[in-house]
Structure 1
Amino acid sequence: MSDVLSQNQIDELLQSLHDGNISVNELETISTEKKVRPYDFKIPKKFNKEQMKTLSIIYENYGRLLSSYLSGTLRSYCKVEVLTIEEQRFFEYSNALESNVLMGVLDMKPLEGSSMVTLSQSVAFGIIDRLLGGPGEIYEADRDYTDIEMQLLRQVVQTVCRLVGDAWENVYALQPDFVRLENNSRQSQLVSPNETVVIVMLDVEIRDVVGNISFCIPYVILEPVLEHLNTRYWFTESRSKTGDEQASRENLLRKVRQIPIELRAVLGTARITLHEALQLQVGDVVPLDQHLDEKAAVYSGKEKWFEGTLGTWHNNRAIRVDRIMLESGVKDESK
């Protein structure tokens, strides 16, 4: 996103090539020269190096989170890395966007204002292809997204936005809220054209598909939390937690323990023929292979977790756990 040309500059360059006033060789020579960007002292930079470095750490962490999510969702190798983090004017960013880019808007609660996330067409179609069972090969198509494709992408972008809060966890308690999804970048009016924004460009690989995901964050949103954007604050917060790895493990275990599971108490089983099953009527008796003195088995999914005795508890059928089946891999945490 660096050294972005305005539309007028692009038109003038194309016209010069067409008229023969400038040659392709001359362009190649110019491109190899050292690039110098002008600095406008009337409009100084609003982010210092320390703040930009902290943002880089945040979104490197975000890249790892997004890589894990995409790899699990798409069941394919995915890699997400920070490419660049720059401070720009919003018009520079919006003018450089392709017309067919996928754009999501998210509120950065509890901060005031909205930011923007964009997915290049190659990444968007790569995600769609994998979600629909395709091989995830490079798909080049200059067309609009269908309603079904937009619905699939909306679900993915919602998680892409939610993970931003996880990446900011050590700096500020953000709760990003997905607002809407658009497929026309020319309609993007996030802030005024001259507003300062931070552009985070992420390089995305989904098997053979290569593209980018970018975040556009207005300065007015980050201004209240600028004091948090320093590496000393980041590492102080990290040390206060008994180590990032241990904290992540405990957080994961806590979330896993809160997952609801279904338990089934099996009285016994029986094998009969299809003919016998079709002949069954009300009042018929089917002998089970379970003796009266045997324990009932308790299953979660296909795994046998417990054995117990059937009974009642507060007018409900219940089972008393008499044995934990450690051989099935379930840890006995009662000891």
Structure 2
Amino acid sequence: MAEILSQQQIDEMLQQLMAGNVDIENIEKEKSKKIKEYDFRSPKRFTREQLKLLNSIFDNFAWLFCLQVSSLLRVSCEMEIVAIEEQQFHEYNNALNDSVLVGNFSLLKGQHGEDKPLLVEISREISFSMIDRLLGGSGYGYNVQRDYTEIEIAILEYLFKQMANMIRNAWQNYVEVVSELIGIETNARLLQTVSPDETVAIIIFDMVLNNDLTGKMSICIPAETLESVFKVFKLKHTRQNKNISNTVDDSKRDHIFGALKTSDLVLSAYLGKTEITLKDLLNLQVGDIITLNTQIKEDPVMIEIEDVPWYQGKLGISKKNYAIKISKVLKK
């Protein structure tokens, strides 16, 4: 329920407003709630945990890619993830220029079912600088406004093939995947490996070459591809947790049982039982004989541990002491 102001509070507020001590715009901003729009026509398909997993996987990929580029081009390379977004493929495709450099990869080829697509796009500045370095140049001839030639694509194909191995190595700590380069596309409007309405995960990287050249790389993974990978990962993770749980339970059981082995227990052997009246009990004297309900040669002796029957045995003598030889185990 809203708070009702007294007349005195109302007068004080009016005085502050007249004096200019209160900023109405700030009050409105504080009252306004931040509302995040949600489109129910295209609900989110990736959970926060899955996006965190992608961030961890492709952070490892960025590290592997920088090592490969630094050794191949002999220049410093820095790369970091700046965003992981979920959108439809036509939105991603429309944001690309007409002339692009996109590597088309297959994921899970021949191991966990049918091939699933994965796209890697490298910005024009970075790609032309790589070509210049691979041809022996300084790497500064990247300001080129033209399409890629067949020779330049053939040169970059080697790097994309190396990238396929990096993708596989980045995933190997989580799930085994097989990645292979299918082809290189330079026209964004001809990318038809993914349906326009398909939900995709976009991983965007910032790249810095030779400490001064900046550019971007983006990886586009369709939801169908990720669902296949996450399904395999979930099964593997569940099995590992189950195995770890069983191992922990066995370890705890052995530890508890080892501690119990040193516990002292009361072991009792009963030759037999009988019933007598209270009168007979009061009249018992030294030398009286009490007849039991068992026979020494025929009926076994009951052995109890903490008042629980565990064994049966036969009465005998061992080293001049009465002893019982166990003939039957009742509990295990």
Match of residue 314 from structure 2: none
Match of residue 169 from structure 1: 172
The alpha-carbon distance between structure 1 residues 35 and 120, as it changes in their structure 2 partners (threshold 3 A), is: farther
Where structure 1 has 5 or more consecutive residues not aligned to the other structure, the ranges are: 1-33, 241-335
Q: Distance in 1 between matches of 2:176 and 2:227?
A: 15
Q: Equivalent residue of 2:82, what SS?
A: strand
Q: Distance in 1 between matches of 2:217 and 2:179?
A: 17
Q: What is the Cα deviation at residue 86 of structure 1?
A: 1.0
Q: Distance in 2 between matches of 1:37 and 1:95?
A: 24
Q: Distance in 1 between matches of 2:36 and 2:128?
A: 35
Amino acid at match of 1:119: I
Q: Distance in 2 between matches of 1:228 and 1:77?
A: 36
Q: What is the Cα deviation at residue 162 of structure 1?
A: 2.0
Amino acid at match of 2:136: G
Residue 63 of structure 2 is aligned to residue 60 of structure 1 = no
Q: What is the Cα deviation at residue 233 of structure 1?
A: 5.0
Match of residue 225 from structure 1: 229
Q: What is the Cα deviation at residue 138 of structure 1?
A: 5.7
The alpha-carbon distance between structure 1 residues 64 and 36, as it changes in their structure 2 partners (threshold 3 A), is: farther
Q: Equivalent residue of 2:162, what SS?
A: helix
Higher-Rg structure is: 2
The alpha-carbon distance between structure 1 residues 128 and 53, as it changes in their structure 2 partners (threshold 3 A), is: same
Q: What is the Cα deviation at residue 43 of structure 1?
A: 2.2
TM-score by length of 1: 0.57
Q: Equivalent residue of 1:171, what SS?
A: coil
Of 195, 207, 213, 2:217 maps to 213
The alpha-carbon distance between structure 1 residues 159 and 36, as it changes in their structure 2 partners (threshold 3 A), is: farther
Q: Distance in 2 between matches of 1:202 and 1:98?
A: 17
Q: Deviations over 1:164-187 (max 9, x none)?
A: 000001111111010001111111
Q: Equivalent residue of 2:87, what SS?
A: strand
Match of residue 42 from structure 1: 41
> In the TM superposition, what are the counterparts of 1:38-117 in structure 2 within 5 Å?
38-108=37-107, 109=109, 110-111=111-112, 112=114, 113-117=116-120
Amino acid at match of 1:209: L
Identity of matched residues, %: 38
Amino acid at match of 1:105: N
The alpha-carbon distance between structure 1 residues 139 and 181, as it changes in their structure 2 partners (threshold 3 A), is: same
Amino acid at match of 1:91: H
Residue 129 of structure 2 is aligned to residue 126 of structure 1 = yes
Q: What is the Cα deviation at residue 139 of structure 1?
A: 2.0
Q: Distance in 1 between matches of 2:37 and 2:141?
A: 38
Match of residue 24 from structure 2: none
The alpha-carbon distance between structure 1 residues 98 and 55, as it changes in their structure 2 partners (threshold 3 A), is: same
The alpha-carbon distance between structure 1 residues 119 and 35, as it changes in their structure 2 partners (threshold 3 A), is: farther
Contact preservation (8 Å) 1:60, 1:81: yes
Match of residue 188 from structure 1: 191
Match of residue 203 from structure 1: 206
Q: What is the Cα deviation at residue 42 of structure 1?
A: 3.0
Q: Equivalent residue of 1:61, what SS?
A: helix
**What is the Cα-based RMSD across aligned positions, in Å?**
2.5
Where does structure 1 differ by over 4 angstroms across 4 or more consecutive aligned residues? 34-37, 227-230
Contact preservation (8 Å) 1:117, 1:214: yes
Q: What is the Cα deviation at residue 64 of structure 1?
A: 0.3
Q: Equivalent residue of 1:144, what SS?
A: coil
Q: Equivalent residue of 1:64, what SS?
A: helix
Match of residue 13 from structure 2: none
Amino acid at match of 1:68: L
Contact preservation (8 Å) 1:116, 1:190: no
Amino acid at match of 1:94: N
Q: Equivalent residue of 1:211, what SS?
A: strand
